[in-house]
Structure 1
Amino acid sequence: MNFTHRNNLLFGTLLMSMLAGACTTGQEKEDAPPNIVFIMSDDHAYQAISAYGHGLNETPQIDRLAEEGAIFTRATVTNSICAPSRAVVLTGKHSFLNGKVDNIQPFNWDQNNFAKMLQKAGYNTAMVGKIHLDGLPQGFDHSMVLPGQGHYYNPDFLVNGERQRFEGYVTELTTQFALDWLKEGRDQEKPFLLIYNQKAPHRNWKPAPKYLTLYDDKTFDPPANYFDDLTNYEGRGTAAKEQEMEIDGHAMWGHDFKFEVDPNGDSTGFTRELNRLSEEQRAQWREAYNPKNQAFLDAYPRAEEIAFEDKEKEKEIAIWKFNRYIKDYLRTIKSVDDGVGEVLDYLEENGLAENTIVVYTSDQGFYLGEHGWFDKRFMYEQSFRTPLLVRYPKEIKPGTKIDKLVQNLDFAPTLLDYAGVEIAPEMQGESFRTLVSGETDEWRDAVYYTYYEYPSVHMVKRHYGVATERYKLMHFYYDIDEWEMYDLEADPNEMNNIYEDPSYAEVKEEMHQKLQDLRDKYGDSDEMNQKYLDAYLEHMERNNRQ
């Protein structure tokens, strides 16, 4: 064999080997488990995402997920309060089984969660941002979380358990730290799970410096039932009447409306909050807010007295308060939307978008003036529903819309299903993978809800309930014993309790049966309620003794 012929053979063999290797590598990439970016904001109402069509604000980056993936219009939570909702997301179990029923009871990180399962299956895992669950997060190779509620300005982070303070705005920092891990912190050879949680738009809605004057040129109209209190919540029960979450009534001049001095000339304590800001940040803040606050004080120099004496002026002040609240709330969301865009851009620019599941959601919904309220907690619709958008190009068609009753209980099983990891038998949710891909239309016809944190801030009474696509049944208990039922088709704003309406007698019977069926299915009971009530009252009594 001559030298040239031998070299040609060697070259051919090498070329075939390289091509085979390339094909093998390509096949491995094709079959690689999906990466997961799970983005959760705090108290982000679905009404404040423009893809949902309410016209309040524009969220073009979050909307990309709806355009390129799926939007869920009836996603709900099992317990509308921060820490319990996050515990449900992690464990795939209702609050009464994972033990985190309220913001008071401890969370047991030793129990199973979906991040632990993905980590065990070979995923590189990280959690960045807010989790609001005490203790070092388990299931994560890297964690960089806010202690407790966290601060909007110059926040502390627990970096793998070690407390460090960072100068800057919390939403921008959280995004930066998430991107840092994606770029430099993760193992490039492994599939990854990134849980990227924002503090915003949680109370008290402090915007980033660059957005302090956003919407200054706009006046927002409050929801049609903003003045619900003027009829003393006619058509509802005791729980709606006795809550303490009214924008005009319970929100505070300092903490919520950002006045350093109230209309009576008294210090509000907000100056202490500003002390956390750097000198430059305080100067920016006061330059933006002081003129707006002074304009209000000039227009209503005796605001509290005027509201008492003049009903028209009272309404004007109430609408001003709504505008201060909603503008600050939406300003914080602008930074959240920016961050989503930065992460999506990174995935696309680095060839990761096709094989990465991106989820955007909130730990629950929020009231944006409906019934005159801010906050959450109730099973009424704006609190009960949560935004949910999912993009996964390999399986989800662009522009998909899902109207089924999906819950945050389902997130853990769904992500495990996508990753090819067997769903833990104790998880109570269901994977919606085949639902969102269009392979099936079969889904549950009812969801179960619980709320426990009473008596406490906002004074929303303990209750549990069941919801179908059309009806909702709730039982308020402990210091009252009242039932409420709503027909969401006829009464989408839940203004008229039909529980005693004889024309709904058959529906009421069916809803009671569904409620009992779900309590049996999930393992809840009045005895379970009493157990957690006793634990809560014991905690409150112990605190009072101290």
Structure 2
Amino acid sequence: MKLTKLKLPVLAALIAFMAMACQDKTEEKTEKGPPNILFIMADDHAYQAISAYGHGLNETPNIDRIANEGAIFTRATVTNSICAPSRAVLLTGKHSFVNGKVDNVQPFDWEQDNFPKLLQKNGYQTALIGKIHLDGLPTGFDYSMVLPGQGHYYNPDFLVNGETKRFEGYVTDITTEETLKWLDQGRDKDKPFVLMYHQKAPHRNWKPAPEYLTLYDDQEFTPPSNFYDQETGYAGRGTAARTQEMEIDGEAMWGHDFKMVIDPYGDSTGFDRELARFTPEQLAQWNAAYDPKNEAFKKAFGQGDEATFSPEKRREIANWKFNRYIKDYLRTIKSVDDGVGEVLDYLEANGLAENTIVVYTSDQGFYLGEHGWFDKRFMYEQSFRTPLLIRYPKEIEPGTSIDKLVQNLDFAPTFLDYAGVDVPKEMQGESFRQLVSGESSEWRDAVYYTYYEYPSVHMVKRHYGVATDRYKLMHFYYDIDEWEMYDLEKDPQEMNNIYEDPQYAEVRATMHERLKELREKYGDSDANDKKFLDAYLEAYNKNK
């Protein structure tokens, strides 16, 4: 029988059957081929703000799905706790002093190998959508749509394959929408894919989406137990902790951070310049949410000379600042979690979940009021540790928990391992594939850390260090020469430097030896420190 003589209902049914057969064939090929890789990275997302980690701050049910259906890492760390260097390590599998991106100032060399390039050469289709914070046009990607620099929360510009285009809306939602569009329409469905889905949130200055501007308004958050650390002068710590400039009740700004156009004492903050980017509708929603809250605070605390306030009143103000900060921070995460849910649902609905490795992580940790701070940079635990969740049904048992010292250095070799691609010798990380599958428990017993961006915003001293499962040794250098050591088992909040404690003399000697071994293993040295210091100071002084 000829198709032309088929009745319309029969013809429609036949076409639908053929389409389903083709789809099944494509999905079957995808399921049996090399795994897809969906790498989700948020910016400055503290592990304390993912409910799977059990800190009780907020709920992230969609991010938690990855942990519940796969594995959660409880001691994942970074090699350099600052945005651009961390991303360079992720891509290259090499420490900052090897890939050259030691701080946010030095240029990044896109000519060097990265794992998307290597997978692209081996048949993968690659895409990068969202924030990368590395200068230059990304290489190794068939498609890139990235924020220039930090990007904007509202009505952001994106560089779409290098061409600037403005999108109206909220950046987290746009990043998710464009990710789904690429998955559905932009890729070759006969090829495995690497998709790097990178959110700007919850990076400073934490502007929430319109639908979440009043989320948590009915809650009062209690600051961490060491929030008032500054009142003791950071007793038990060294110069670096005392001289940082990232205190919520200190360096955080009435406008940029606390969302006031006029501060409590009647001065303009300049925040209106940021609001100028909003559409009239967005601005009306914003003002309706924030104006009443701001006016209530000014009425309660805006009279008089702040310098004459009682200690009790100053604490009340500090507590208000903490709550304004943490609520805005968590509001931006709510949108990130929504987006993760949409993308996971897409994978399920399109038969891709079984053969797709899904990773959720951040470029580093973040302080949520611990020690009274926001930001990152230090090797202290809250910024050194990063969330890491991974799902791959073919190899990872649901509910797996890993307490080994995995680093962002390990992503590149791990993805290459899963794809069956040789790991270049110059990559310094290790594949954690067998660790997370349960095939092996062997792993490193210590990790190495560096931080270079000083003098700069937040004024965190240059330092490097080594950490084991229990101890941490750090050396702060350049304009000081101080050592700090902590026993994380007895002092998880790192409140007491035990470097000079005679009871720990043997441990100190062991940690120094481990530090020396790791510096030699990875190729770091005092000469490296001086080289990158000189380059940074030249750029810093030029831009002063």
TM bucket by the smaller chain? over 0.9
Which residue of 1 is the match for residue 54 of structure 2?
A: 53
User: Counterpart of 1:463?
Assistant: 463
CA–CA separation in structure 2 for the residues paired with 1:24 and 1:339 = 29
CA separation of 1:308 and 1:394: change in aligned 2, threshold 3 A: farther
Identity %: 77
Map of 2:361 onto structure 1: 361
* Number of residue pairs matched by the alignment: 523
Q: Secondary structure at the match of 1:39?
A: strand
Distance 1:459 1:501 in 2: 28
| Aligned pairs (5 A) from 1:326-341 | 326-341=326-341
Q: Displacement of 1:30 after TM fit?
A: 5.1
How far 1:31 sits from its partner (Å)? 3.5
* SS of residue paired to 2:371: helix
Change (3 A) 1:27 1:328: closer
The Cα shift of 1:264 comes to 1.3
Structure 1, residues 364-390: CA drift from partner, whole Å, max 9, x if none? 000000000000000000000000000
Provide the residue aligned with 1:371 in structure 2: 371
CA distance in 2, matches of 1:189, 1:440: 33
The aligned residue for residue 194 of structure 1 is: 195
Post-superposition shift, 1:543?
A: 2.3
Tell me how far 1:26 sits from its aligned partner: 9.1
CA displacement at 1:308 relative to structure 2: 3.8
AA at the equivalent of 1:117: L
- Between the aligned partners of 2:127 and 2:26, the Cα distance in structure 1 is 26
1-side partners of 2:23 and 2:164: how far apart? Answer: 46
Tell me which amino acid in the other structure corresponds to 1:178. Answer: T
**Residue equivalent to 2:450:** 450
Deviation at 1:459, TM superposition (A): 0.1
Distance 1:343 1:22 in 2: 19
Equivalent AA in structure 2 for residue 180 of structure 1: K
Structure 1 residue 311 corresponds to structure 2 residue 311: yes
Alignment of 1:378-393 (within 5 A): 378-393=378-393
**Contact 2:30–2:192, Cα closer than 8 Å, also in 1:** no
In structure 2, what is the Cα distance between the partners aligned to 1:97 and 1:383? 22
Give yes or no for contact 1:307–1:314 (8 Å, CA) kept in 2: no
Aligned to 1:485: 485
In the alignment, which residue of structure 2 is the partner of 1:85? Answer: 86
Using the alignment, how far apart are the partners of 2:198 and 2:536 within structure 1?
Answer: 28
- Residues 413, 429 of structure 1: 8 Å contact kept: yes
Structure 1 equivalent of residue 10 of structure 2: none
**Counterpart in the other structure of 2:3:** none
Say which SS state the counterpart of residue 450 (structure 1) adopts: strand
Distance 2:27 2:245 in 1: 58
> For residues 245 and 226 of structure 1, what CA distance do their matches in structure 2 show?
12
- Alignment partner of 2:465: what SS? strand
User: 2: CA distance between counterparts of 1:334 and 1:30?
Assistant: 31
Question: AA paired with 2:46?
Answer: A
Backbone CA RMSD of aligned residues? 1.4
**Residues 283 and 23 (structure 1 numbering): CA distance in 2 closer, same or farther, change over 3 Å?**
closer
- Identify the residue that residue 12 of structure 2 maps to in structure 1: none
Counterpart position of 1:496: 496
Q: CA separation of 1:27/1:297 partners in 2, compared to 1, >3 Å: closer, same or farther?
A: closer
Partner of 2:246: 245
Task: List per-residue Cα deviations over 1:483-517 (Å, max 9, x = no partner).
Answer: 00000000000000000000000000000000000
Aligned partners of 2:247 and 2:373 also within 8 Å: yes
- Per-residue deviation, residues 258-294 of structure 1 (Å, max 9, x unmatched): 0010111011000110000001100000000000000
SS in 2 for 1:158: strand
Q: Tell me if the contact between 2:30 and 2:190 (Cα under 8 Å) persists in the aligned partners.
A: no
Matched, 1:257 2:258: yes
1:433-459 deviation digits (Å, cap 9, x = unpaired): 000000011100000000000000000
| Match status 1:281 vs 2:290 | no
Aligned equivalents of 1:526, 1:357: Cα separation in 2: 39
Counterpart Cα distance in 2 of 1:388 and 1:362: 8
Q: Distance in 2 between matches of 1:93 and 1:373?
A: 29
Match of 2:228?
A: 227
* 1:266 matched residue in structure 2: 267
Q: Which amino acid aligns with 2:173?
A: E
Question: Which residue of the partner structure matches residue 100 of structure 1?
Answer: 101
CA distance, structure 2, for counterparts of residue 464 and residue 423 of structure 1? 27
Aligned equivalent of 1:440: 440
| Structure 1 pair 347–483 and aligned structure 2 pair: CA distance change class (3 A) | same
Unaligned runs of 5+ in 2: 1-21
**1:542 Cα deviation from its structure 2 partner:** 2.2
| Normalised TM-score (structure 2) | 0.95
State the alpha-carbon separation in 2 of the partners of residues 528 and 22 from structure 1: 54
Q: Distance in 2 between matches of 1:145 and 1:94?
A: 23
Note the C-alpha offset of 1:301.
Answer: 1.9
Runs ≥4 in structure 1, deviation > 3 angstroms? 21-31
> Which residue of 1 is the match for residue 533 of structure 2?
533
Give distance in 2, aligned partners of 1:30 and 1:250: 51
- Of 204-213 and 294-303, deviating more is 294-303
Task: Indicate the SS of the match to 1:164.
Answer: strand
